[in-house]
């Protein structure tokens, strides 16, 4: 038996998220498992580093599977990419330790959220960024973003999902906001993220910058531990899982 680690890129636009669904909706995990089962002529279970929701993209999702085979990683990668739909690409396949686990061994995850900030939308970028035409105060957003850094209870920034039984304490060690031309990119790195947490954080920062919330609001929201205290979530298409660190 061998363990293989996959690094996966996908356009999440036409997927009902990463995880296999009971109702049979199209998912990234489902598509890859179907192809793996064809390659190895038996059921192969793929375990990802975590879920991404409907419409969310990835450049560096990580998953693993175990199988008895003599095929090298490069041959598995070639077979996968030949048979997978064009909105999924396997960037790397490598044999790893039998002890490796894509979910439990993950230490940090890095996400980006992309905003197109100008007066007119874009045709080519419509599936990978959020069009936001209002003027934004980057300095104010950066100052507020500092309130998220560290180990905190993020109850105010997570939508309730009873299927995910986990506490709300997470550690964020990086939250950068950069502008290049009309594009604003949020880069956030943490040891884990709650359901819609990144989208709620970005949405709140936008509302602070737009004047709905006064400066200093982020710290007050965190203390309340109440989802109703924070801002609205931004749409899913601007979110991308960039990297998982082990």
Q: List the end-to-end C-alpha distance of the chain, in Å, as a whole number.
A: 22
Which of 14, 53, 70, 226 does the annotation list as catalytic? 53
192: left (phi over 0), alpha (psi -120 to 50) or beta: left
Q: How far apart are CA 63 and CA 6, in angstroms?
A: 5
Would residue 87 show up in a list of annotated catalytic residues for this protein? no
Q: Which sequence positions are flagged as catalytic? A: 53
């Amino acid at each position: 038996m061998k363990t293989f680690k996959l690094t996966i890129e996908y356009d999440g636009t036409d997927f009902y998220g990463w995880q296999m669904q009971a109702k049979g909706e199209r998912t990234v995990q489902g598509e890859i498992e179907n192809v793996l089962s064809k390659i190895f002529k038996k059921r192969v279970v793929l375990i990802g580093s975590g879920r991404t929701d409907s419409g969310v993209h990835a450049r560096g999702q990580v998953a693993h599977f175990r199988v008895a085979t003599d095929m090298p990683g490069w041959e598995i990668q070639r077979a996968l990419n030949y048979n997978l739909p064009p909105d999924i690409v396997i960037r790397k396949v490598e044999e790893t330790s039998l002890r490796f686990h894509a979910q439990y061994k993950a230490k940090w995850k890095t996400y980006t959220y992309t905003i197109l900030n100008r007066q007119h939308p874009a045709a080519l970028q419509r599936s990978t960024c959020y069009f936001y035409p209002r003027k934004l105060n980057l300095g104010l957003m950066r100052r507020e973003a500092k309130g998220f850094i560290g180990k905190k209870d993020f109850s105010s920034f997570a939508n309730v999902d009873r299927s995910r039984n986990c506490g709300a304490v997470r550690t964020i060690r990086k939250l950068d906001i950069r502008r290049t031309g009309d594009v604003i990119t949020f880069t956030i790195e943490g040891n884990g993220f709650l359901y819609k947490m990144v989208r709620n954080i970005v949405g709140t920062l936008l509302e602070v910058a737009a004047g709905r919330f006064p400066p200093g609001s982020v710290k007050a929201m965190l203390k309340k531990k109440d989802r109703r205290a924070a801002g609205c979530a931004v749409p899913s298409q601007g979110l991308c899982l960039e990297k998982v660190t082990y």
